[in-house]
Structure formats: structure tokens, C-alpha cells
């Protein structure tokens, strides 16, 4: 069984600014309300460490594997809980340039496993709300930085 949560947002900023913010794991705690900590090498096949805080939930720690790193295009990782086949997720950030200096940012996770049908609609709504919160924070930080204002 699979379930996909997908959100998107338009951002007006240079692609390089968005990509720098998105891949600067060391600064996630400064701006990211969903992924409050992230660390690890940005190399496909490597393990990373992330701490996720869904709205109204405690922080959860994961060590997924980075499966796609396509510069200024896509960042994707895959992880699971314990027993294979029980519960896993593939988290993706996909950026597409559009005309007029607009970037389309897609934030998606595909959940799979035996536990997926037992998760409540409210849980998936909380995930969507968390994604939207991160999207909004990324937009605010990127558009601010895209105007030449740096968070340093």
C-alpha cells in the first residue's frame, strides 16, 4: 500500500539561491519548521541524519539514504522504520525553472508499507501541513536572499 503527500509553491528568486539554502543542512534549524536538523554528506548513496517535527508532534530522528542529488533540480532520500516492508518513505524536493524568474518547488513523500493503511487521515493532513510550513519558510528565506540579503 502506498500514499503520496505532495505540495508545491512558486518562488521568485534565482535558482542558485534556492538550491544553496535547500542544501545547506547546517542552517536548517534557523528557518525550517519541519526538518529542524539535518546533517551528512550531500552525496548520492550516503546516509544522512534528519530530525523532523510534524505540527503538534514530538521531534523524530531518521537516518535515510540520499538516493538522488541532481544539482539545482532534485534532492531525494529514502528511509524506513525498523522491519523492511513495515513502513518506509521516499522524500523529494524537486525544483523547476519557469518563465519570468519563477521557480516551482515540489515537496513530496511517498509512504509505503504494511502500516500505511492504519495511519489516520489526520496524520497525513499533519504531514501536508508540515510540508506547507516548510515551503512557506523556504519561500520567505529564498526570496529574501534572492534580493541580495544574506542570513549571515
pLDDT at residue 49 in the model? 97
Count of Cβ atoms closer than 10 Å to residue 151 Cβ: 11
Alpha-carbon torsion 17, 90, 32, 47, what sign?
negative
What pLDDT, on a 0 to 100 scale, did the predictor assign at position 125?
Answer: 95
Q: Is the pLDDT of residue 65 over 50?
A: yes
pLDDT exceeds 50 at position 149:
no
- CATH numbers and ranges of domains, the chain: 2-146 (3.30.530.20)
Q: Could you read off the pLDDT of 121-144 as tens digits, one per residue?
A: 999 999 999 999 999 999 999 998
pLDDT tens digits for range 19-59: 999 999 999 999 999 999 999 999 999 999 999 999 888 99
Beta strands 102-112; 49-52: pairing state: unpaired
Torsion, Cα of 36, 39, 42, 47 (10° steps) = -110
Amino acid at each position: 500500500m502506498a500514499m503520496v503527500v505532495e505540495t508545491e509553491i512558486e518562488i521568485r528568486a534565482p535558482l542558485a539561491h534556492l538550491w544553496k539554502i535547500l542544501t545547506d543542512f547546517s542552517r536548517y534549524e534557523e528557518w525550517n519548521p519541519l526538518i529542524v536538523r539535518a546533517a551528512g554528506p550531500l552525496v548520492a548513496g550516503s546516509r544522512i541524519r534528519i530530525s523532523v517535527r510534524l505540527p503538534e508532534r514530538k521531534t523524530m530522528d531518521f537516518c535515510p539514504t540520499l538516493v538522488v542529488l541532481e544539482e539545482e533540480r532534485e534532492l531525494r532520500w529514502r528511509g524506513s522504520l525498523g522491519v523492511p516492508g513495515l513502513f518506509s518513505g521516499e522524500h523529494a524536493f524537486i525544483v523547476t525553472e519557469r518563465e519570468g524568474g519563477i521557480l516551482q518547488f515540489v515537496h513530496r513523500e511517498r509512504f509505503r508499507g504494511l502500516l500505511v493503511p492504519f495511519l489516520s487521515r489526520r496524520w497525513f493532513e499533519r504531514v501536508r501541513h508540515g510540508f506547507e510550513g516548510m515551503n512557506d519558510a523556504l519561500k520567505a528565506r529564498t526570496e529574501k536572499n534572492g534580493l541580495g540579503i544574506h542570513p549571515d
